[in-house]
Structure 1
Amino acid sequence: MIRVVIADDEQLIRAGLRLILEAAPDVTVVGEAADGTEALAAAERLRPDVVLLDVRMPGLDGLAAAPAIVAAGPKVVMLTTFDLDEYVHEALRAGAVGFLLKDTPPRDLAAAVRTVAAGNAMLAPTVTRRLISSFAERGPARRDAARQRLARLTDREAVIVREVARGDGNAEVARRVGVSEATVKTHVSRALAKLGVANRVQLAILVHDADLLE
């Protein structure tokens, strides 16, 4: 069972998200929070697998709370009303694994929770992928620094990392590269360790910063 905490300052939105998620047989909502402080306390107390975290809340908002919640263990997915929000990019850098629009179709919400609980990033086909492309800072200095970091990878790791940055899951990457899914997972884990990044979203941002997908 996937354990979820919902953090949003609007009670109606929390109630709606709870109804949608608890209709799924493999998801349970173990707690709710109205601001970032409550969300962090819930993450530490309830140990959920996933926290759905609103970007804008009174007091400690989602953006400010995200790093501490990630450090507590859960996967963090940002919730936002807007399909382009520069604050979400900063949250992704802080360790969130993606974001959802609040008008996400009900059938996609549970699927998204399953995706991140399984350790995958919310990239394509969601707007997260577009957000990373739009807000990645690709000045010469950042590009060169990103390329220098990526130079630590082996040739095969570099190929797989670029495919991951396009937003595909392990199975799709494996088919495209011509290796097993287990091999993809191994290379991704090694790349994360070598590059000192927390998850696949941060890995994708680094590749975009290096301007290696054009």
Structure 2
Amino acid sequence: MEANVAPDQAVVPSRAGRGIRILLVWGVRFTGECLAELLERDPSVSVIGLCADLSEAVALSASMQPDIVLLDGRMPEGAAAARRALDEAPGMRIVVSSVRETEDDVVAWAEAGVIGYIPRTTPLADFVRLMMDIHSGEQVCSGRVAAGLLRRIATTKSHVHNLLGKLNAKRRTEIADYLRG
């Protein structure tokens, strides 16, 4: 990856245009540049830029049209920043990296609107494959996280069922109508 830009500007690699187009958002520039160079070794990947934060990625995403915005999950404000970015650029497809694979962390990122996550325990040899899987609509998660997600869904359904009973309603729309007044 080569670029001659001021330190506060996005780095745009010279070898863009092949494979899946990735815009990196990494707070530590050196680490982001190292990751970009490693990713560029794979012929199915094209790193089209490196940004210091999500606001910069939002500004660039319309013109650069990345397939994936790869976000360092250790960025300040994390999931909240991702939610704000997606509010501004709804078509942006964020994959978050370096995620602690706990139910709470995975749910927080999912609620923020990211399309997938790469756990912080992922070896380099699996990184690109996981990114490609996520880009294709697949996400692998641990059994513990899957069980937690299923439990949350069941709990939500139980709450809805209880609400229906208390309000003598048969459908969720009746609850919504009741709440509207």
For the criterion TM > 0.5, the same-fold answer is: yes
1:52 aligns with 2:66: no
1:88 paired residue among 90, 106, 110: 106
Residue 100 (structure 2) pairs with residue 100 (structure 1): no
The aligned counterpart of 1:138 is 152
Counterpart of 2:81 in structure 1 is 65
Counterpart of 1:30 in structure 2 is 48
Choose from 65, 71, 95 the match for 1:77: 95
1:81 Cα offset (Å) = 5.4
1:122 aligns with 2:139: yes
> Which protein shows a greater Rg?
2
1:20 is displaced (CA, Å) by 2.1
Task: Tell me, in whole angstroms, the C-alpha distance in 2 between the residues paired with 1:102 and 1:42.
Answer: 26
Aligned with 2:127 (options 109, 112, 118): 109
Corresponding residue pairs, total = 141
Is the alpha carbon distance of 1:81 and 1:99 closer, same or farther for their aligned partners in structure 2, counting shifts above 3 Å? closer
Q: Note closer, same or farther for the CA distance 1:81–1:6 as it changes in structure 2 (3 Å cut).
A: same
Quick check: 2:68–2:94 contact (8 Å CA) kept in 1? yes
Unaligned runs of 5+ in 1: 148-214
Question: Could you say what secondary structure the match of 2:101 adopts?
Answer: coil
Match of 2:38 among 8, 20, 33: 20
Query: Does the 8 Å CA contact 2:70/2:97 hold for their aligned counterparts?
Result: yes
**Residue 5 to residue 146, structure 1, CA distance change in 2 (3 Å):** farther
Q: Displacement, 1:85? A: 6.7
1:167 aligns with none
Q: Relative to 1, partners in 2 of residues 1:34 and 1:85: Cα closer, same or farther, differing over 3 Å?
A: farther
* Matched residue, 2:14: none
Identity across the alignment (%): 28
- Structure-1 separation of matches of 2:119 and 2:154: 32
Matches within 5 A, 1:152-167: none
The one-letter code matched in structure 2 to 1:142 is T
Query: Per-residue displacement from partner, 1:28-83 (whole Å, max 9, x unpaired)?
Result: 0111122222232232331100111123323xx33123233385323221122533
Paired residue type of 2:39: L
User: 2:25, 2:32 within 8 Å by CA — same for their partners in 1?
Assistant: yes
Find the residue that maps to 2:152 and give its secondary structure. coil
Q: 2:86, 2:113 within 8 Å by CA — same for their partners in 1?
A: no
Give distance in 2, aligned partners of 1:113 and 1:139: 26
Contact 1:97 1:116 in 2 (8 A): yes
Partner in structure 2 of residue 194 of structure 1? none
Note the aligned Cα RMSD (angstroms): 2.9
Within-5 A mapping of 1:160-175: none
Residues 173-184 of structure 1 aligned to structure 2 (within 5 Å): none
